[in-house]
Amino acid sequence: MMKKYVLPTEGILLDSEEKAKNICHLFDSFYYEYFSPFFEKWNNLNVLYEFIKDKNEVEELESILGIFWQFKKAAILRLCNDENYQEYIEALVKRFELIFERRSESIDVRRYYNAAKELKEVLDKTEPVYNV
């Protein structure tokens, strides 16, 4: 879908009103056919929450939330006042703690473990935004 909206960056010479109209039409098409519907669908955190709340597969969550998806899911659960937040965040911290115990020499493992603990501390003090 996106490919048809990619404009060439070289070789465009707007030397006529007709060419300028064509470029404006491409931008309008992008806005009304892609940009606007995307933001209408994903207009608040509740929509994302409903989409991910029951997903547990690593590949699926990573493709939706990207890297550090575990931390993002924890934040979404907390902000949406999910009843499973506490269980999720405690399991997340425990998982990184176990990895840290086995590979304490790894700087990256230490960082993930510390980030998980810090995130839990911050989120536990954060009031939910949505009450689902």
> Which pLDDT score, from 0 to 100, does residue 3 have?
57
The two structure tokens encoding residue 58: 């690593």
> Which pLDDT score, from 0 to 100, does residue 7 have?
57
Tell me: the pLDDT tens digits for 24-61? 888 888 888 888 888 888 888 999 999 998 888 888 89
Low-confidence ranges of the chain (pLDDT < 70): 1-11, 132
Distances (CA, A) of 58 to 19, 55, 67, 96: 47, 9, 11, 15
> Which pLDDT score, from 0 to 100, does residue 1 have?
46
Residue 12 near residue 18, CB atoms below 8 Å:
no
Q: Which residues of 38-62 are buried (b: 16+ CB within 10 A; e: fewer)?
A: eeeeeeeeeebbeebeeeeeeeebe
> Which pLDDT score, from 0 to 100, does residue 38 have?
83
CB atoms closer than 10 angstroms to residue 5: 14
